[in-house]
C-alpha cells in the first residue's frame, strides 16, 4: 500500500512579465513525493529546475513574477499561506540545500551561528541546546571534529565541508521534504560520491522525501527513485529511474541519455541546437526544432501529458492515443 504523498505539486506555473512580453518559466509542473522517496529533476541549464525549487519554498518572488498552481505539503496548501506561516514551514518542514556552498554562508558569521540561528528560528531551544543539537548533526553528516567546525568561519572550511554542514543543517530540523538544488555540482568526483552517500543515508534514516535537482545523470541515478525530465519549464517525461534509463521514451530524454560519456564511446553526442527563448513561448512543443523524430502529429500537439500503462508520463505527440510509437518505444 502506498503512503500519502508528503509533497503534492499540481500544475505549478511561473510567469515573469518583462518588457516585451511574458517569460514562461514553468508550464504546469506536477509531481508528488512520498515519505522516504526521492524524485530527481533532470534537465539542462535554464530549464526551470532551480525556479521549481525556489517557488516551492515560496522564495521565487519579485516584481512581475506570478506563481500559480497548487502546492500541498503534509496535506496543507502552501500557496496562500501568510508570510510568517510560510517562513516557519521553510527550513523546518521543507529544508533546502543550495547549489554553491562557498557562497551560501555569510562570511562574517561562524558556522555554529548559522546552525544555531536556524534551530532557534524554529524551536524554543536555548543557545546551549541548539549548540548540542548542531554538534550531533555535524557528526552524523561526517564531520567528526564538530566542535572546531562550529567555531570556524565559512572561509576556513572547504567546499565539501560546507556542503556537509548544509546537509547537517537541513536534516537537523527533521524536515518532511528536502529540496536539494544541484547538491554536488561544485564538488570534485570523490567528494561527490561521499556526500551523495551521506544524503542518501540521512534520507533513509529520517524517512524524508526529497527533490534532487541536477543536470548530472549520475547523481540522479545514485539517489532518486523516480525521475522527472524537464525541458523549457515542462516536465516532458516522468518514470522510475530504472525504466527511464532502460527505455527513455521522450526524444529529448533519449538525446540527453545519449550525450553521456561512456567507456566504449569514442565521441560524445550533444543534443543538437539550443532551447528556444522562453519569452512568449507558445503552447506547441518547445523541442520541435531540435527533435530528431518530428512527425506530422507534432504540429497540432499542445503538450498534453500522456499517461502510459504502468503510470509513466510523457509529453510527446508520438505517444498520443492512436500512435504506434508506444509499442515501438516499449519494444
Partner 1 sequence: MVRYVFMRLAGLVPVLLGISLVTFILVRLVPCDPAEVYLRLSQIPPTPEMVASVRADLGLDRPLYAQYLDWLWKAAHLDFGVSFATKQPVLAEITRCFPATLQLTLASMALVLLVSLPAGILAALYKDSIFDQFSRLLAFLGASVPNFWLGFLLIYLFSLKLDLLPVLGRGTPAHLALPAATLALSYAATYTRLLRTSMLDCMSADFVLYARARGLRERLVLGRHVLKNALLPVTTAFGMSIGHMLAGSVIVENVFAWPGVGRLCVYSIFNRDYPVIQCYALIMAVIFVTCNLVVDMAYRFLDPRIRLGGGRQ
Q: Does 109 bind partner 1 (CB under 8 A)?
A: yes
Q: Is 231 in the site for partner 1 (CB under 8 A)?
A: no
From candidates 22, 28, 87, 129, binder to partner 1 by CB under 8 A: 87
Please provide residue 157's backbone torsions phi and psi, each rounded to the nearest 5 degrees. -110, 155
Angstrom distance (rounded) from CA 141 to CA 283: 45
C-alpha 238 chain-centroid distance: 13
Q: What is the sign, positive or negative, of the torsion defined by CA atoms of 146, 148, 153, 155?
A: negative
Q: CB neighbours of 218 closer than 8 A, spacing ≥ 6?
A: none
Euclidean distance between CA atoms 316 and 251, whole angstroms: 8
The answer to whether residue 141 forms part of the interface with partner 1 (CB under 8 A) is no
Exactly one of 57, 78, 196, 220 binds partner 1 (CB under 8 A); which one? 57
Give the residue, chosen from 155, 242, 265, 302, that forms a contact with partner 1 under the rule CB under 8 A. 155
Distance (Å, rounded) from C-alpha 71 to C-alpha 85? Answer: 14
Q: Which is nearer to partner 1, 85 or 302 (CB)?
A: 85
With binding defined as CB under 8 A, does residue 117 bind partner 1? Answer: yes
- 74 torsion bin: left (phi>0), alpha (psi -120 to 50), beta (else): left
Instruction: DSSP letter for 246, please.
Output: H
Select the span of 10-18, 83-91, 211-219, 252-260 touching partner 1 (CB under 8 A): 83-91
Query: How many CA atoms does the CB half-sphere of 147 hold within 13 Å?
Result: 0
DSSP per residue over 144-161, as a string? S-HHHHHHS-GGGS-HHH
In the complex, the smallest distance separating the C-beta of residue 144 from partner 1, rounded to whole angstroms, is 22
> For partner 1, which residue of 33, 67, 169, 213 counts as binding (CB under 8 A)?
169
As a residue count, the chain comes to 331
Among 5, 40, 91, 112, binds partner 1 (CB under 8 A): 91
In whole angstroms, the minimum distance from the beta carbon of 325 to partner 1 comes to 41
C-alpha cell at 150: 562550529
Q: State the number of binding residues for partner 1 (CB under 8 A).
A: 31
Name which of 209 and 329 has its Cβ closer to partner 1.
Answer: 209
What is the distance between the alpha carbons of residues 2 and 157, in angstroms, rounded to a whole number? Answer: 42
**In the set 104, 125, 294, 297, which binds partner 1 (CB under 8 A)?**
104
The 290-319 contact track toward partner 1, x by CB under 8 A, reads ------------------------------
CB of 98 to partner 1, least distance (A): 5
The residues that touch partner 1, with contacts defined as CB under 8 A, are 54, 57, 59, 87-92, 95-96, 98, 100, 102-109, 114, 117-118, 121-122, 153, 155-156, 166, 169
Amino acid at each position: 500500500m502506498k503512503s500519502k504523498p508528503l509533497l503534492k505539486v499540481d500544475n505549478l506555473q511561473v510567469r515573469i512579465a518583462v518588457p516585451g512580453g511574458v517569460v514562461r518559466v514553468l508550464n504546469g509542473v506536477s509531481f508528488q513525493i512520498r515519505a522516504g522517496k526521492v524524485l530527481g529533476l533532470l534537465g539542462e541549464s535554464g530549464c526551470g529546475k532551480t525556479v521549481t525549487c525556489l517557488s516551492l519554498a515560496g522564495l521565487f518572488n519579485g516584481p512581475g513574477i506570478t506563481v500559480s498552481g497548487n502546492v500541498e505539503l503534509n496535506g496543507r496548501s502552501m500557496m496562500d499561506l501568510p508570510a510568517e506561516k510560510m517562513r516557519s514551514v521553510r527550513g523546518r518542514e521543507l529544508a533546502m540545500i543550495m547549489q554553491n556552498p562557498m557562497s551560501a554562508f555569510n562570511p562574517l558569521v561562524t558556522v555554529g551561528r548559522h546552525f544555531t540561528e536556524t534551530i532557534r528560528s524554529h524551536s524554543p531551544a536555548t543557545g546551549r541546546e541548539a549548540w548540542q543539537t548542531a554538534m550531533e548533526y555535524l557528526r552524523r553528516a561526517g564531520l567528526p571534529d564538530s566542535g572546531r567546525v562550529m567555531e570556524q568561519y565559512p572561509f576556513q572550511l572547504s567546499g565539501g565541508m560546507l556542503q556537509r554542514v548544509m546537509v547537517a543543517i537541513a536534516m537537523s530540523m527533521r524536515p518532511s521534504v528536502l529540496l536539494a538544488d544541484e547538491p554536488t555540482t561544485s564538488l570534485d568526483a570523490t567528494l561527490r560520491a561521499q556526500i551523495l552517500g551521506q544524503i542518501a543515508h540521512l534520507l533513509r534514516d529520517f524517512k524524508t522525501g526529497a527533490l534532487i535537482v541536477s543536470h548530472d545523470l549520475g547523481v540522479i541515478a545514485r539517489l532518486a527513485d523516480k525521475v522527472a525530465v524537464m525541458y523549457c519549464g515542462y516536465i516532458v517525461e516522468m518514470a522510475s529511474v530504472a525504466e527511464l534509463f532502460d527505455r527513455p521514451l521522450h526524444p529529448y530524454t533519449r538525446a540527453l541519455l545519449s550525450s553521456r560519456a561512456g567507456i566504449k564511446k569514442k565521441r560524445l553526442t550533444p543534443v543538437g541546437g539550443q532551447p528556444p527563448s522562453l519569452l512568449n513561448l507558445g503552447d506547441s512543443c518547445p523541442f520541435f526544432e531540435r527533435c530528431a523524430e518530428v512527425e506530422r502529429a507534432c504540429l497540432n500537439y499542445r503538450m498534453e501529458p500522456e499517461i502510459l500503462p504502468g503510470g509513466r508520463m510523457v509529453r510527446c505527440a508520438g505517444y498520443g492515443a492512436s500512435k504506434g510509437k508506444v509499442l515501438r518505444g516499449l519494444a
